[in-house]
């Protein structure tokens, strides 16, 4: 009888144990720390300064803190919230406006690419 050889060696994927993550690789450490900071920053004033009954405080905190916490833990586009905010600020400070000349269009003598540089046509009095 012929015996078939069986291989008991299996390749373990590199992301089997995600080191540097919390709760079995589900949450990144940076996102968790930032979310905790945001929850304290927003939750403490709601809890201490809101003069309302306890039931109203719970509802307000669930409506405000729960979405912030979920978005903070997930991140936006693979970045944490603070990384995303820094990217947005850098984008708005470094953006440029590009102006292109139109192909086949003949620009007049006083017409330039940008509206700020246009000269007004002077009229001669007859």
pLDDT tens figures, 2-51: 777 777 888 877 666 667 777 767 788 899 999 999 999 999 999 999 89
For the whole model, what pTM was predicted? 0.59
Which tokens is 27 given? 């949450």
- C-alpha separations of 60 from 11, 17, 53, 70 in Å: 49, 38, 11, 16
> Which pLDDT score, from 0 to 100, does residue 17 have?
64
Measured CA to CA, the distance from residue 73 to residue 93 in angstroms comes to: 27
pLDDT exceeds 70 at position 101: no
């Amino acid at each position: 009888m012929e015996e078939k050889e069986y291989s008991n060696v299996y390749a373990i994927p590199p992301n089997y144990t995600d080191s540097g993550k919390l709760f079995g690789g589900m949450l990144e450490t940076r996102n968790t720390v930032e979310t905790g900071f945001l929850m304290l920053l927003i939750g403490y004033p709601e809890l201490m300064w809101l003069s309302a009954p306890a039931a109203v405080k719970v509802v307000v905190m669930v409506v405000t803190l729960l979405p912030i916490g979920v978005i903070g833990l997930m991140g936006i586009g693979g970045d944490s919230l603070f990384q995303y905010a820094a990217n947005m600020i850098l984008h708005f400070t470094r953006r440029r406006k590009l102006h292109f000349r139109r192909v086949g269009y003949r620009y007049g003598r006083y017409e330039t690419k940008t509206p700020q540089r246009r000269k007004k046509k002077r009229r001669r009095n007859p």
